Structure 1
């Protein structure tokens, strides 16, 4: 039960972060073509602007990217949960 909940929450945070980054990248790709950007500095600035815009959208919707927990290795989480469950079982005997 605990594993499912932690895995689900971790997956949501990871999916949200990946989707946000992917969206900003796709905006950049689109605008490079639409705006005919061909200088590295202009493309880089476009990318920075798109990342800021996506970050602003997240904040407006109540998501603070810096407050999202870091994605942990699933195997490490599973081992820690197993260890905690074993300790709890020993303590309840």
Structure 2
């Protein structure tokens, strides 16, 4: 779905919420929604069950909670405002850029 600026943050030892946080951007609300829909469908197809999803109606920020993995998909302006990478230390070597 051509998500942009995708990174993975290792949360092991930082929180009990999840082991990994993936953060990505979509160019628009429609793009964010499409990325989220594709991830949710792929998870179902691969037998990972039903993830909890928040934010789909507005598509400014969609959170997919798949237990051990949290996926955040933002519009660029919203991502910059919340700056989760800084909050969770992705600017340190543990934050890994993806594809």
Same fold (TM over 0.5): no
Give TM-score, length-normalised by structure 1. 0.33
- Higher fraction of helix: 1
